[in-house]
């Protein structure tokens, strides 16, 4: 097996950036889910509730992240923010600290989404721990839902698409790593893998939600709740949920590339 895609999503819920190679850090790939929108109470905002957020494009250029969407002026975020105010935010049940991006950035997103919100950043100094039920002491994660990386095989997507009237792209599922795969859903059982020279632990199959029903090209939810509805007919597993993909925690550091060999160690 080989890696066919490497993706990051600098702002949670926005469009991917496809990479040819990437460093692997303890909390995942550099700049992946390092920014996030929050409401007045500091609770995370995603495209699950606000699908047009999925239309926002980002690009990392030199020392900034360029943020753009059709019909609006480009916004630039510094990769290393000036000393900003720290605030407490929540991602699902996790509370952690984040740096406020500032009033100008908040106004850009508030105007686009149509309600008051703030953008926050997780800098290297701020740490959010992985759920100890699945990780080890010291494991950390960005603003991703729960784990540093998500992997999906093309074989799994091909099997799903064979059951759908209208096939969907891998972008619906927002993986960091895509592999060409040998058999559909083989990744469910991967407990240890090596990608190039970097080792990862498979810790939990990924529970899927309504986000998968949002068309990444239009920001519109599928009226028939596809592909989630079809997944629910054959991928519902204990302890409850519809699963597609494998969450990973890095167990070494290094650089991975599209085309790297994927070895199953356990």
Pull the structure tokens for residue 81: 């923010």
Length of the chain: 266
- Kindly give the confidence (pLDDT) of every residue in the chain, 266 residues in length, as a single tens digit, with 9 standing for 90 and above: 999 999 999 999 999 999 999 999 999 999 999 999 999 999 999 999 999 999 999 999 989 999 999 999 999 999 998 778 999 999 999 999 999 999 999 999 999 999 999 999 999 999 999 999 999 999 999 999 999 999 999 999 999 999 999 999 999 999 999 999 889 999 999 999 999 999 999 999 999 999 999 999 999 999 999 999 999 999 998 878 999 999 999 999 999 999 999 999 99
Note the pLDDT of residue 181: 81
Residues 6+ apart with CB under 8 A from 187: 151, 152, 153, 156, 179, 181, 202, 245, 246
pLDDT of amino acid 119: 98
pTM over 0.85: yes
Give the model's pLDDT for residue 238: 83
Could you tell me if 248 and 201 are in contact, meaning their C-beta atoms sit under 8 angstroms apart?
yes
pLDDT in the model for residue 165:
96
Domains and CATH numbers, the chain: 3-264 (2.40.33.20)
pLDDT recorded at residue 81 = 86
- 54: its two tokens: 């999925």
Contact criterion met (CB below 8 Å) for 44 and 36: yes
DSSP string, 19-47: ESEEEEBTTBSTTTT-EEEE-TTSBEE-T
């Amino acid at each position: 097996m080989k890696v066919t895609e490497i993706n990051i999503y600098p702002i949670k819920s926005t469009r991917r950036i496809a990479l040819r190679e990437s460093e692997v850090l303890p909390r995942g790939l550099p700049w992946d889910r390092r920014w996030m929108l929050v409401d007045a109470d500091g609770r995370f905002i995603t495209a699950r509730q606000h699908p047009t957020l999925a239309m926002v494009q980002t690009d990392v250029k030199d020392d900034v992240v360029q943020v753009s969407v059709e019909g609006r002026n480009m916004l630039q975020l510094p990769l290393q923010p000036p000393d900003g105010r720290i605030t407490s935010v929540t991602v699902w049940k996790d509370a952690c600290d984040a740096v406020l991006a500032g009033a100008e950035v908040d106004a850009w997103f508030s105007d686009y989404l149509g309600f008051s919100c703030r953008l926050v950043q997780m800098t290297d100094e701020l740490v959010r721990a992985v759920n100890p039920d699945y990780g080890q002491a010291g494991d950390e994660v960005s603003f991703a839902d729960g784990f540093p990386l998500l992997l999906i095989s093309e074989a799994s997507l091909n099997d799903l698409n064979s059951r759908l009237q209208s096939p969907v792209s891998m972008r619906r599922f927002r993986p960091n790593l895509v592999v060409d795969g040998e058999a559909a859903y083989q990744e469910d059982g991967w407990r240890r893998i090596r990608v190039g020279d970097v080792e990862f632990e498979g810790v939990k199959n990924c529970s899927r939600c309504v986000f998968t029903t949002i068309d990444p090209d239009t920001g519109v939810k599928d009226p028939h709740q596809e592909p989630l509805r079809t997944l629910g007919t054959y991928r519902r597993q204990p302890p409850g949920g519809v699963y597609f993909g494998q969450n990973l925690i890095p167990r070494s550091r290094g650089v991975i590339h599209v085309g790297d060999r994927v070895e199953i160690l356990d």
